[in-house]
Amino acid sequence: MISDIKNVLTIDVEDYFHVAALAKSIKPEDWDAISPRVSTNTLRLLDLFDERNVKATHFVLGWVAERFPELIREIDNRGHEIASHGYSHQLVYTQTPALFEKETRDSKNLLEDIIGKPVQGYRAASYSITRKSLWALDILAELGFKYDSSIFPVAHDNYGIKGSPEFPHILETPNKGTLVEYPLSTYRFMGQAIPVAGGGYFRLYPYWLSRFFYRKINQQAAPFVFYLHPWEIDPDQPRVDASLLSRFRHYNNLDKGYLRFSRLLTDFRFTTMHEKLNELGLFDGATNIAVSY
Ligand SMILES: [Zn+2]
């Protein structure tokens, strides 16, 4: 074990065909006709978590919860946190506030009906809360979410708020609501915030480099947040025709995903996002200064 610090483990529970990088090739109306792989892959992750005695936060897509409620109950029964990944996996900044409000409310209610517990965390599809969609934070606070983990403090073509805070904080929403924000992890190197939070970055960098970044963050006494999708441990998933860049982002090093991820669980400690925010005292808002974007 490299550090005693408990980091935050998050799984975005969706299938390979929900991904924004493949959205030009597979339309939402086609989803029901595709053979699903999300349950098998998620159960494989759950077995690994049991073996390593690790708990994670699962941001579940409403579309998946509606079709596989027994999978969501299984995640919950095994002691993990259930949070929301919205319903339709459409980018927030392409939606109207009214549409976003409806689908976010519906997917929160759906998950709460399945597990019989409040759902307190939210993560947007493809981290799509950006400067164009800060209004979504008001809606999340109004719907009763306690925390959000959608903001990537980097410059990227599809997401990110460059220069935003890199560690968990309380934010003031545009309409003066409050919400805890847990940004996706970056490592500051030569003045640049390098995205290191998992997913495609974890597949892109050699494992020793990811481990170097995480160790450095933990040496600063800070926890990092890691995300993975169930399809990232599934090298046998059907290949979809998409642009060269999208195919690279989606398929790069899929065959190494499972082993790399199990090494990560050996080298670092993890817990759920809710437990970490509790530990950091961030749910006791009165004592903290709110950041506005
Ligand atoms: Zn997603």
Q: Give, as one character, the DSSP assignment of residue 174.
A: T
Place of tokens 């409040």: 118
Residue 91 C-alpha to ligand 1 middle, in angstroms? 10
- % of the chain at pLDDT higher than 90: 74
Residue 9 C-alpha to ligand 1 middle, in angstroms? 15
Report field, pTM of the whole predicted structure over 0.85: yes
> For the stretch 106-118, what's the b/e string if a residue is b when 16 or more beta carbons lie within 10 angstroms of its beta carbon?
ebbebbeebbeee
**Cβ(121)–Cβ(81) under 8 Å?**
yes
What angle, rounded to 10 degrees, do the helices at 97-115 and 135-142 form? 30
Indicate the range of 19-23, 225-229, 283-287 predicted with least confidence.
283-287
Residue 286 has pLDDT above 60, yes or no: no
Residue 75 C-alpha to ligand 1 middle, in angstroms? 17
Residue 125 C-alpha to ligand 1 middle, in angstroms? 4
Residue 19 C-alpha to ligand 1 middle, in angstroms? 6
Q: What is the pLDDT of residue 216?
A: 95
User: How far is Cα 190 from Cα 8, in angstroms, rounded to an integer?
Assistant: 25
Residue 87 C-alpha to ligand 1 middle, in angstroms? 10
Residue 42 C-alpha to ligand 1 middle, in angstroms? 14
Residue 61 C-alpha to ligand 1 middle, in angstroms? 7
Residue 71 has pLDDT above 90, yes or no: yes
Residue 15 has pLDDT above 60, yes or no: yes
Average confidence score pLDDT of the chain: 93
**Mean pLDDT, range 202-221, rounded to an integer:** 94
Residue 157 has pLDDT above 80, yes or no: no
Residue 289 C-alpha to ligand 1 middle, in angstroms? 30
Residue 248 DSSP SS3: helix
**Cβ(11)–Cβ(279) under 8 Å?**
no
Residue 210 C-alpha to ligand 1 middle, in angstroms? 21
Q: What is the pLDDT of residue 285?
A: 62
What angle, rounded to 10 degrees, do the helices at 69-77 and 38-52 form? 0
